[in-house]
């Protein structure tokens, strides 16, 4: 849930009455905490803030922050402790144990798979499906993650410890942890930790020689167990001895070299640096890890690439257009690049999104799904389904919830089931004031249309092999326009290609070859990461043909096709 940064909506000091309610909720949810423990976590007079936020996928989350550290978070009326709380009270939750090398994968959003659970001599903790659980690592009782059990302990054992065991909500080193003081977990020795030879992996193998964490690696991909990775780094240090920033620097360099050696081709140069990162480096990030330049020592892509140019002499970077940098050359014979061996692990079986038109990596258009956000006005219609203000729903979910509301309140017209009787809640939520005395019934389609029109619009972009992206509003179409330059000269302008995963430089090259006209890339005014493609002449028909036929972009997402000299054949 917190693998990526979340958006804070509000941050206010908690009132006394709300503190009393929170103490009661915490006491009921976590019986292991004493009254003094709860009072220490939810004090009466010390600074305690309530933070309303939205996770990167749109989930509404409430954070309770004490002394600038989040101590609890609440999702859909369920409250969970953070790792900061569990470090103070490690016995709050039943805990499953795994290996230290799994930690970064948990922070990256992966769930804990049962084949990687370390079964102690006293057996697994007793849990039921949906119970809140903690995750610890061998030799340390300080929890590093919080989640919910996907099944009971008996079911886990009955399935031979195969499948997903714990659905992870929050982990050390994720964005919720980063919202606090970013301290590390304390060292809390596990009981009988010196008797490590008695512990077993869940597959039943003895681990007499596997007390060292770097001798065991887990894959948290669904249903699969990964082969062990290399034990430690070349300098003899294990991953845990390096800071998160140093680990991110190593991952950044690995993805950079992997992308140059396996993804980029000479024919693609010059290549926009933003496209290189989005379409090549991200696709080289190992499964379970998340590439985040802001968490590296470089902070910015441009600083990292200039380091690769000036210190490593691996690439040549130039500003071909004002404010737009491109990779113009790669030192293919550089010893560091030639000696690099890409890891065998593949992030996805799907081909990565690539707008270059290369036949080895075909472009796949994104799947675009309209989404609707529950507004304050419509919240009464969604309360029975536990959907509060800010909840993000698909059209199908909206229809299902509204249908259930109608049936529960017996609003279907007895004489004509195509109509719905308007009750006071529907009247307040859907009707205009001028309709209050006039409209008594609505057709089903009208009911759904009015509901969605009153909701806030957003959309989900899903590229093959990538995490879905949810954004507010409606997606902007690819815009094609024709402008005059000088005396009777025309140019065709194309923008918003990046929103659909299309490389503007690749589009410019394709157009240049097809119509034998010069092209220019310019930054879009007021935007930091969008590029405008400009080509001589009225080329709307050719641009439309490429977008519709080669890139398979639906016509409804292309604006300006009618401006061509000859209307193109409709797809």
The pLDDT tens digits for 327-346 are: 999 998 887 888 777 775 43
Q: What is the mean pLDDT of residues 504-513?
A: 84
Say what the pLDDT of residue 195 is.
42
Residue 233 pLDDT exceeds 90: no
In degrees rounded to 5, what are phi and psi of residue 461?
-105, 125
* Tokens, residue 61: 């989350």
Cα dihedral sign for 234, 240, 241, 242?
Answer: positive
What SS3 state is found at 457? strand
Sequence-separated (6 or more) residues with CB below 8 Å from residue 448: 398, 399, 402
What pLDDT is recorded for position 148? 95
Which is more confidently placed, 191 or 251? 251
> What share of the chain has pLDDT > 90, as a percent?
39
Angle between helices 244-262 and 301-310 (to 10 degrees): 70
Q: For residue 215, what pLDDT is reported?
A: 27
CB burial of 479-489 (b: ≥16 within 10 Å; e: otherwise) equals: ebebeeeeeee
Q: How far is CA 181 from CA 69, 83, 173, 185, 420, in A?
A: 6, 12, 11, 12, 54
Q: Are 370 and 459 in contact (CB under 8 A)?
A: yes
Q: How far, in Å, CA of 570 to CA of 567, rounded?
A: 9
Least confident of 132-136, 526-530, 546-550: 526-530
pLDDT band at 179 (very low <50, low <70, confident <90, very high): very high
Residue indicated by tokens 């659980």: 133
Give the sheet arrangement for strand 315-321, strand by strand.
Answer: 271-272, 324-330, 315-321
Most confidently modeled of 198-212, 218-232, 397-411, 522-536? Answer: 397-411
Q: Tell me the C-alpha distance between 366 and 159, whole Å.
A: 37
Name the DSSP class of 475: P
Return d(Cα 501, Cα 463) in angstroms, integer.
Answer: 8
Cite the DSSP H helix spans in 481-570: 504-515, 540-545
Distance of CA 156 to the CA centre of its chain: 28
Q: Mean of the pLDDT values across residues 110-119?
A: 90
pLDDT, tens only, 341-396: 777 543 333 333 344 333 345 678 888 999 999 999 999 999 888 898 989 999 99
107 neighbors 220 (Cβ within 8 angstroms): no
Q: Are strands 7-13 and 132-137 parallel, antiparallel or unpaired?
A: unpaired
Say how far apart CA 93 and CA 142 lie, in whole Å.
Answer: 11
Look over the chain and give the mean of its residue pLDDT values, rounded to a whole number.
82
């Amino acid at each position: 849930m917190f693998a990526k940064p979340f958006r804070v909506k509000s941050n206010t000091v908690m009132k006394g009455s709300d503190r009393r309610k929170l103490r009661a909720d915490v006491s009921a949810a976590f019986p292991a905490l004493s009254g003094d423990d709860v009072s220490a976590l939810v004090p009466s007079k010390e600074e305690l803030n309530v933070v309303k936020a939205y996770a990167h996928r749109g989930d509404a989350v409430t954070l309770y922050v004490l002394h600038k550290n989040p101590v609890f978070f609440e999702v859909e009326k369920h409250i969970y402790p953070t790792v900061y709380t569990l470090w103070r009270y490690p016995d709050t939750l039943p805990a499953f144990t795994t290996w230290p090398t799994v930690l970064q994968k948990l922070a990256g959003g992966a769930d804990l798979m049962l084949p990687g659970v370390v079964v102690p001599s006293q057996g697994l903790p007793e849990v039921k499906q949906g119970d809140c659980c903690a995750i610890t690592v061998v030799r340390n009782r300080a929890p590093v993650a919080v989640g919910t059990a996907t099944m009971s302990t008996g079911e886990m054992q009955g399935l031979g410890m195969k499948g997903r065991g714990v659905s992870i909500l929050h982990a050390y080193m994720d964005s919720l942890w980063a919202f606090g003081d970013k301290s590390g977990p304390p060292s809390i020795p596990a009981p009988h930790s010196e008797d490590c030879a008695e512990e077993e992996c869940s597959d039943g193998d003895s681990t007499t020689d596997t007390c060292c964490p770097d001798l065991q690696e887990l894959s948290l991909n669904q249903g699969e167990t990964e082969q062990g990775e290399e034990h430690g780094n070349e300098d003899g240090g294990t991953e845990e001895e390096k800071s998160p920033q140093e680990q991110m620097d190593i991952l950044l360099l690995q993805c950079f070299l992997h992308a140059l050696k396996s993804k980029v081709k000479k024919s693609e140069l010059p290549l926009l640096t933003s496209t290189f990162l989005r379409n090549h480096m991200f696709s080289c990030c190992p499964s379970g890890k998340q590439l985040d330049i802001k968490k590296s020592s470089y902070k910015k892509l441009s600083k990292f690439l200039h380091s690769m140019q000036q210190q490593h002499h691996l690439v040549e970077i130039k500003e071909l257009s004002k404010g737009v940098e491109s990779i113009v050359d790669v030192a293919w014979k550089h010893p560091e690049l030639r000696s690099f061996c890409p890891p065998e692990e593949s992030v996805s079986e799907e081909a990565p999104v690539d707008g270059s038109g290369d036949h080895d990596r075909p472009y796949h258009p994104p799947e675009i799904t309209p989404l609707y956000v529950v507004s304050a006005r419509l919240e009464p219609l969604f309360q029975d389904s536990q959907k509060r203000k800010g909840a993000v729903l698909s059209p199908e979910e909206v229809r299902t919830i509204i249908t259930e509301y109608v049936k529960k309140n017996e609003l279907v017209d007895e004489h004509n089931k195509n109509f719905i009787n308007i009750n006071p809640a529907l009247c307040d939520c859907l009707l205009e004031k001028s309709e209050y005395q006039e409209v008594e019934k609505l057709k089903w389609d009208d009911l759904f249309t009015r509901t969605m029109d009153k909701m806030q619009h957003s959309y989900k972009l899903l590229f093959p092999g990538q995490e879905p992206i949810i954004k507010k509003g409606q997606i902007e179409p690819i815009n094609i326009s024709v402008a005059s330059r000088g005396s009777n000269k025309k140019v065709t302008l194309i923008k918003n290609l990046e929103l659909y995963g299309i490389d503007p430089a690749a589009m410019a090259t394709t157009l240049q070859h097809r119509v034998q006209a010069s092209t220019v890339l310019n930054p879009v005014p007021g935007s930091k990461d969008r590029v405008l493609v400009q080509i001589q002449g009225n080329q709307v028909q050719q641009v439309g043909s490429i977008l519709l036929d080669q890139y398979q972009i639906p016509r409804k997402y292309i604006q300006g096709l009618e401006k061509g000299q000859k209307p193109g054949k409709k797809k």
